[in-house]
Amino acid sequence: MNYQSTERQHQLAARYVLGSMRGQARAKFQRLLMEYPKLRDEVTFWEQHLNELAAQLPDKSAPKSAWEAIERRLGWRRQQVTSNRGWRWLTATLAAILVVVTLSQTLLAPMPGVPQAERIAVIQNSDARTLWLLEQREQVLDVAAVGAIDPLANEDYELWMLPEGGAPPISLGLLPQQGTRTLNVPANVDLQNIAALAVSREPLGGSPLAVPSGPVLFTTDFVVVSKT
């Protein structure tokens, strides 16, 4: 498949942002984001475009069935044998938002006197299951492992920043496989200049190179949240 085609990149990025790209196709697309800077630009375009459209829509409460599905996903309600396939994507999205709100107030609670972060990232696998929650405080990233992460005995998960403009990836540190961890980002790294975040599987201690040496498993980006 020709990934250099501008039209093809535009179409794939739209499907990715809309959530219609799933499973292996989504995982492959996330790996391609590391190789093609223009593809990352297309994802950014669609995110901004669709966010503007969403902001113009009137507020509408989710139906009771959606909240019941979230409760079942979180283990608060017994899972029914039958399910409505049409709600799966919405349930996963709402559940991720609920995780952000809840865990950012508990696992990632800021220290007294330190301003609360307004940028959060949720790292999910191809099945839309949340694995890590990240919260930015200036040059600090608070990370919590919140999902069923595949344990690595002799390897590490490494977090990378993909700068805007197609510059090479920058390592932000190793992600915890359980619990929480604070990543101190060097002062010369501008966290505001992020096109996307990526997670790769690396040897113990991280990549021996300045770029990922192992496979890129997941990608995501920061979202701005209001904490009032």
User: What integer pLDDT is reported at residue 36 of this predicted model?
Assistant: 79
Q: How far apart are CA 170 and CA 191, in angstroms?
A: 10
User: What integer pLDDT is reported at residue 159 of this predicted model?
Assistant: 96
User: What integer pLDDT is reported at residue 183 of this predicted model?
Assistant: 95
Contact (Cβ atoms closer than 8 angstroms) between residue 47 and residue 55:
no
pTM of the model: 0.56
Structural domains of the chain, with CATH:
6-55 (no CATH), 64-98 (no CATH), 109-224 (2.60.40)
Burial of 201 (0-12, 13-18, 19+ CB in 10 A): middle
List, in order, residues 6 or more apart from 18 with CB less than 8 Å away: 46, 50
User: What integer pLDDT is reported at residue 103 of this predicted model?
Assistant: 47
User: What integer pLDDT is reported at residue 152 of this predicted model?
Assistant: 92
Q: What backbone torsions phi and psi does residue 127 show, to the nearest 5 degrees?
A: -95, 10
Tokens 């399910």, residue? Answer: 83
Give just the sign of the alpha carbon dihedral 75, 179, 215, 220.
positive
List, in order, residues 6 or more apart from 108 with CB less than 8 Å away: 133, 135, 142, 144, 180
What would the two tokens of residue 49 be?
């475009």
Contact (Cβ atoms closer than 8 angstroms) between residue 182 and residue 141:
yes
Q: Concatenated DSSP letters for 2-49?
A: -TT-HHHHHHHHHHHHHT---HHHHHHHHHHHHH-HHHHHHHHHHHHH
User: What integer pLDDT is reported at residue 114 of this predicted model?
Assistant: 44
User: What integer pLDDT is reported at residue 17 of this predicted model?
Assistant: 75
What would the two tokens of residue 44 be?
């950014």
Q: Which of 176, 115, 167, 113 is nearest to 140 (CA)?
A: 115
Q: How far apart are CA 162 and CA 209, in angstroms?
A: 15
Running along the chain, 228 residues long, what does each successive block of 10 average in pLDDT? 74 76 77 78 76 60 68 59 48 52 47 55 82 88 86 94 87 94 90 88 94 90 66
* H-type alpha helices, the chain: 6-18, 23-35, 37-55, 64-73, 88-103
Q: Concatenated DSSP letters for 167-226?
A: PPPEEEEEEPSSSEEEEEPPTTS-TTSEEEEEEEEEETTS-SSSS--S-EEEEE--EE--
